[in-house]
A and B are shown apart, each in its own frame.
Chain A
């Protein structure tokens, strides 16, 4: 039948989807272009008109070769983290071999299982949205395929078993035996089999989706949260990173994917393009670990909590929530204050990217934020049930006054961190400083006499270093293929003295390293550089390739000066407008991808707790509201009928009795309907004829015991099949349980008397019927 025959096609589609999923996870187009056509070709070769398959021995040889290759590749694997990738490639080739072989039910079971392993290997390596979509499709298709496989394999096995039995009989009794006359196995099925199969498959798919979501939400996540913090797995590769590790280059990307957009407006709300590129700060790193070549955050001090509240429900997409100040004191917002409205496209992060210096934050939904006065960074402290913030607004003063900065910092005074832990760089920096000899920098004596002048020194020296780095001695590149790590030599020192090429993280690291080496407080800042302005939409488009790193140098008690040591011409060239026609259609994908990243990829224990809290609160609120509404209705009724003080109790009693009555009537009605069906009144059309209606009602009153009889039989596992007459069933029952069969036969006599002979049950016979039912129950329980 066609339903079962579809299985093989479904199995092929499943394998193809698994291969596509793995290739997407590996980002390997070449693998896809080789594997997919070969897999499709296997259908023609094995299922086509010639129907040829690889012999078993050749499959074994190929399998042995694959195993040898996989073992060799594993031994020579440079990075053990790619083990799953290697496993996936091995499975992919193995699947191809299996596709070209003969396919028994066992082979197909292996093929389905291997395709699952292939998808699993991809799942362990990526969480990207495109891959996730394929995994969802795979899961649904796998469910259908497995259902079909059950039917197909059962048919094949039944046929094989029948053939085997015939062959055994022929071998036992000789060729003259009529064993070959045994009928072949044919599928036996009822009505609407295809439709019902689809219904079961769809119901299973929906049930699976629902259950998987529930399990996803309630899954314990403490361990995975720890792993997320430690290994940073699962974070999508978006260019931005909260730390800088110079030995690896996996964060730098040329991807044109839109991360978010920024609308920059003045106090009146008019959108505008700022005179300079916007440096949107995301992380501040001021400690360097030379052994890891890594910049990290210093331990944070006081954190200020800010909460925003839901807006009044405006749906125009504007960020209508009220601004909550980040400062301890009131800030004068009349001068140089701008509003930066951020709309996330694909990135879901707890970091609020903001230009220097943020003074207030707003969101059109209730959110909790943390403000770090030492770095001026704002983060979302706890994710709501709806995932990460998609939109937020930040008030910014690009040129803040000392008072503004003081209000933001409060009692926090930054500590001087002027020890850079690489002596070679310190020596190099001092020599360079002597060589550069910047003009206008106060001497040590002048600083000792007037401490405030050290800020002038900081600014002058940092600017000199920055200009030196921006000179033609250095070149900007994201290709670090030639940047070979020298054992025992710090990568920043290698950059300054040996290679002199690198990307923004090297330039920023070098500037901060040199500044700290000569006692200037400075830090590396990572984030995005918003330079691409869309005149049509009047907003900045920030892409993954706009991720950037720069430096900040302390130039006052509270002031930090932003310095970008990366060659500006090169940077401008790289960051120039890159919008393509495909970007016109990306907004849909980006929005869905944001939802995926925001609600699934970043779902952690805090989100889980928040969701549980919301759900619990919602249930409680809902139940409380319902209870109050019921009480109110009861009170009104009491007032209307003037029952007095005990009226509520009386009403409650009446309500209870009404509910009970409804339940009893429903039960009786159901029993009556069942009885009509069982005794065949509906089938005979007796009940529909006017004259016989009274007779039918009379029968219904008399034959209640018959339902008890049938229920008793069912309960003891000897239920009467619908097609079997009662008398015949009594004979069948007598064979296995003679006493019960006899009792049942007596009951059948009573039933026939009432149903067909028209002899009603009087009280004594009714009592006898009840006794017989009880006796039948006892005898069946005793197995007699």
Chain B
């Protein structure tokens, strides 16, 4: 916890004006002016006393943020506590401070705040003596990756705005920023997975589906709707019907990152190699997100980097894992140019291979679909036309 006073332009101007009035009062036999000078000087003293006493008992703690998504608001909450028994604290600004030098070494690939963040500070109007309130700041991550929160600062210019006093708290934590998810066309996956391994199939195990799987003896607790009443009527005793579980279509997303960034083939006028790679990652995230929405089981394989493969699964937490895997891709790491799709990933799912620059069919078995990052713009679902003014009004509203 560090306390600091920051010079503030209004404060400097005020002190200069006070000195000017003091000189005038000393040279002019006007006692009212002397009192005005006294009142102005008292203002400076009160400012120091009140703001000092105000921040003396303020303590802050950041709640660990959830993961962020590029382009989406990331809310970070803080518990601001005032331990003072007397002084209330007013007009507190909460802001995150960029990580120090230790986060900028080559080994740590976390994004610096200046690069990775844009957003607005938090504001707390009042914390009474002994009170605890929750403030929040909103950030808009600009790029995916690990985001390190090192310190945050609580500052105030109360009471008069002459001096900005701050107290900063060390609380290192980090979170992941998932790649940007773009709204892809709804028919994209259905056209990719038409027939074959991509369709719905019956499972060989019982479940909660609609199709008939078999019958078994009645067990206490079975619903009356499960009882096979025809067999009961036929005098065959009480038996229950079992249903089969349906198996959703499967899709495995493979990102081809075998080629190092500087060896990618890019056009001079187009996106840079690194931007293509990021677009490929974003396309993968968008495909995964769309697949999840449409009920697919999804798996992810990153070729060329030492990242664990993920099985084919459904569900929120599985998708979060896949997104976290995408968020952790370090494009500066060494690439394995000979990496191949493991055999375990070749069966029972439609494979969608995503390439940054050009399609390389060798990375995936026959029948796989190959997408290129540059195609991303063509796959985005068309937006309803909206005028700029209307959009702005919506934002302001």
Q: How close is A123's CB to chain B, nearest CB, in angstroms?
A: 5
In the assembled complex, B208 has its CB within 8 A of some CB on chain A: no
Q: How close is A135's CB to chain B, nearest CB, in angstroms?
A: 7
Q: How close is B33's CB to chain A, nearest CB, in angstroms?
A: 5
Contacts known (A154-B93, A219-B34); A721 close to B79, Cβ less than 8 A: yes
Q: Say whether B30 contacts A123, CB under 8 Å.
A: yes
In the complex, residue of chain A having the shortest beta-carbon distance to the beta carbon of B394: A180
In the assembled complex, B396 has its CB within 8 A of some CB on chain A: yes
**Chain B CB within 10 Å — which of A120, A214, A600 has the most?**
A120
Q: Which residues of chain A are near B224, meaning CB under 8 Å?
A: none
Contact pick for B42, options A164, A187, A215, CB 8 Å: A215
In the assembled complex, B203 has its CB within 8 A of some CB on chain A: no
Contact pick for A213, options B38, B46, B91, B169, CB 8 Å: B38
Q: Say whether A161 contacts B121, CB under 8 Å.
A: yes
In the assembled complex, A398 has its CB within 8 A of some CB on chain B: no
Q: Which residues of chain B are near A200, meaning CB under 8 Å?
A: 50, 88, 90, 159
**Chain B CB within 10 Å — which of A169, A191, A211 has the most?**
A169
Q: Say whether A207 contacts B128, CB under 8 Å.
A: no
Contact pick for B1, options A175, A601, A718, CB 8 Å: A718
Q: Which residues of chain A are near B171, meaning CB under 8 Å?
A: 732, 736
> In the complex, A479→B32 CA distance in Å?
32
In the assembled complex, B134 has its CB within 8 A of some CB on chain A: yes
Q: Say whether A211 contacts B28, CB under 8 Å.
A: no
Bitwise, A480-521 to B at CB < 8 A (1) or not (0) is 000000000000000000000000000000000000000000
Q: How close is B272's CB to chain A, nearest CB, in angstroms?
A: 17
Q: Which residues of chain A are near B391, meaning CB under 8 Å?
A: 170, 175
Q: Say whether A196 contacts B128, CB under 8 Å.
A: yes
In the assembled complex, B362 has its CB within 8 A of some CB on chain A: no
In the assembled complex, A227 has its CB within 8 A of some CB on chain B: yes
> In the complex, A154→B258 CA distance in Å?
51
Contacts known (A120-B21, A216-B38); A719 close to B1, Cβ less than 8 A: yes
In the assembled complex, A269 has its CB within 8 A of some CB on chain B: no
In the complex, residue of chain A having the shortest beta-carbon distance to the beta carbon of B20: A120
Q: Say whether B125 contacts A231, CB under 8 Å.
A: no
Comparing A145-153, A446-454, A466-474, A619-627, the segment that makes contact with chain B is: A145-153
**Chain B CB within 10 Å — which of A4, A147, A163, A213 has the most?**
A147
> In the complex, A223→B380 CA distance in Å?
79
> In the complex, A175→B387 CA distance in Å?
11
In the assembled complex, A272 has its CB within 8 A of some CB on chain B: no
Q: Count chain B residues whose beta carbon lies closer than 8 angstroms to a beta carbon of A.
A: 84
In the complex, residue of chain A having the shortest beta-carbon distance to the beta carbon of B24: A124
Q: Which residues of chain B are near A296, meaning CB under 8 Å?
A: none
Q: Say whether B383 contacts A175, CB under 8 Å.
A: yes
Q: Main SS of the interface on chain A?
A: helix
Q: Say whether B395 contacts A183, CB under 8 Å.
A: no
In the assembled complex, B16 has its CB within 8 A of some CB on chain A: no
> In the complex, A601→B210 CA distance in Å?
98
> In the complex, A689→B42 CA distance in Å?
51
In the complex, residue of chain A having the shortest beta-carbon distance to the beta carbon of B395: A180
Q: Which residues of chain A are near B131, meaning CB under 8 Å?
A: 190-191
Q: Say whether A132 contacts B32, CB under 8 Å.
A: yes
Contacts known (A178-B73, A179-B71, A219-B37); A224 close to B27, Cβ less than 8 A: yes
Q: Say whether B37 contacts A233, CB under 8 Å.
A: no
> In the complex, A158→B37 CA distance in Å?
33
In the complex, residue of chain B having the shortest beta-carbon distance to the beta carbon of A153: B161
Contact pick for A223, options B26, B73, B132, CB 8 Å: B26
> In the complex, A162→B120 CA distance in Å?
5
Q: Say whether B125 contacts A151, CB under 8 Å.
A: yes
Q: Which residues of chain B are near A179, meaning CB under 8 Å?
A: 71-73, 140, 395
Q: Which residues of chain A are near B70, meaning CB under 8 Å?
A: 173
Chain A interface size, as a band, is 35 or more
> In the complex, A1→B37 CA distance in Å?
34
In the assembled complex, A176 has its CB within 8 A of some CB on chain B: yes
In the assembled complex, B45 has its CB within 8 A of some CB on chain A: yes
CB proximity to A under 8 Å, residues B140-182: 140, 142, 157-161, 169-173, 180, 182
Q: Which residues of chain B are near A724, meaning CB under 8 Å?
A: 61
Q: Which residues of chain A are near B200, meaning CB under 8 Å?
A: none
> In the complex, A549→B149 CA distance in Å?
83
In the assembled complex, A645 has its CB within 8 A of some CB on chain B: no
Q: Say whether B35 contacts A212, CB under 8 Å.
A: yes
Q: How close is A211's CB to chain B, nearest CB, in angstroms?
A: 4
Q: How close is B80's CB to chain A, nearest CB, in angstroms?
A: 8
Bitwise, B74-85 to A at CB < 8 A (1) or not (0) is 010001011100
Q: How close is A598's CB to chain B, nearest CB, in angstroms?
A: 11
Q: Say whether A147 contacts B133, CB under 8 Å.
A: no
In the assembled complex, B273 has its CB within 8 A of some CB on chain A: no
Q: Main SS of the interface on chain B?
A: mixed
Q: Which residues of chain A are near B118, meaning CB under 8 Å?
A: 165, 168-169, 172
Q: Say whether B158 contacts A147, CB under 8 Å.
A: yes
Q: Say whether B31 contacts A155, CB under 8 Å.
A: no
> In the complex, A89→B160 CA distance in Å?
27
Q: Which residues of chain A are near B90, meaning CB under 8 Å?
A: 147, 150-151, 197, 200
Contact pick for A216, options B34, B119, B120, CB 8 Å: B34
Q: Say whether A601 contacts B42, CB under 8 Å.
A: no
**Chain A CB within 10 Å — which of B25, B93, B123 has the most?**
B123
Bitwise, A324-362 to B at CB < 8 A (1) or not (0) is 000000000000000000000000000000000000000
Q: Which residues of chain B are near A600, meaning CB under 8 Å?
A: 31-32, 35
In the assembled complex, B342 has its CB within 8 A of some CB on chain A: no
In the complex, residue of chain A having the shortest beta-carbon distance to the beta carbon of B75: A183
Contacts known (A163-B396, A185-B123, A189-B125); A233 close to B30, Cβ less than 8 A: yes
> In the complex, A653→B180 CA distance in Å?
79
In the assembled complex, A208 has its CB within 8 A of some CB on chain B: yes
In the assembled complex, B29 has its CB within 8 A of some CB on chain A: yes
Q: Say whether B140 contacts A168, CB under 8 Å.
A: yes
> In the complex, A216→B125 CA distance in Å?
35
> In the complex, A123→B158 CA distance in Å?
27
Q: Say whether A233 contacts B172, CB under 8 Å.
A: no
In the assembled complex, B4 has its CB within 8 A of some CB on chain A: no
Q: How close is A182's CB to chain B, nearest CB, in angstroms?
A: 4
Bitwise, B368-382 to A at CB < 8 A (1) or not (0) is 000000000000100
In the assembled complex, A582 has its CB within 8 A of some CB on chain B: no
Q: How close is B24's CB to chain A, nearest CB, in angstroms?
A: 7
Q: Say whether B170 contacts A736, CB under 8 Å.
A: yes
> In the complex, A188→B120 CA distance in Å?
15
> In the complex, A600→B25 CA distance in Å?
14
Q: How close is B355's CB to chain A, nearest CB, in angstroms?
A: 24
> In the complex, A603→B59 CA distance in Å?
47
Q: Which residues of chain A are near B1, meaning CB under 8 Å?
A: 717-719
Q: Say whether B81 contacts A196, CB under 8 Å.
A: no
Q: Say whether B36 contacts A135, CB under 8 Å.
A: yes
Q: Which residues of chain B are near A180, meaning CB under 8 Å?
A: 394-395
> In the complex, A571→B43 CA distance in Å?
52
Q: Which residues of chain B are near A191, meaning CB under 8 Å?
A: 128, 131
Q: Say whether A722 contacts B81, CB under 8 Å.
A: yes
- Residue pairs across A and B with Cβ atoms less than 8 A apart, 18 shown, are A119-B36, A147-B90, A151-B125, A151-B158, A158-B122, A161-B120, A169-B140, A172-B142, A178-B73, A179-B71, A182-B138, A188-B123, A207-B49, A212-B39, A216-B35, A234-B30, A718-B170, A723-B132
Closest 3 CB pairs of A and B: A717-B1, A228-B29, A215-B38
Given contacts A165-B140, A196-B126, 6 further A-B contacts (CB under 8 A): A154-B157, A181-B72, A188-B125, A190-B127, A722-B81, A732-B171
B residues with a Cβ closer than 8 A to A are 1-2, 10, 21, 24-39, 41-43, 45-46, 49-50, 59, 61, 70-73, 75, 79, 81-83, 88, 90-91, 93, 118-129, 131-136, 138, 140, 142, 157-161, 169-173, 180, 182-183, 380, 383, 386, 391-392, 394-396
A residues with a Cβ closer than 8 A to B are 1, 4, 109, 119-120, 123-124, 126-127, 131-132, 135, 139, 143, 146-147, 149-151, 154-155, 158, 161-170, 172-173, 175-183, 185, 187-193, 196-197, 199-200, 204, 207-216, 219-221, 223-225, 227-228, 231, 233-234, 600-603, 717-719, 721-724, 732, 735-736
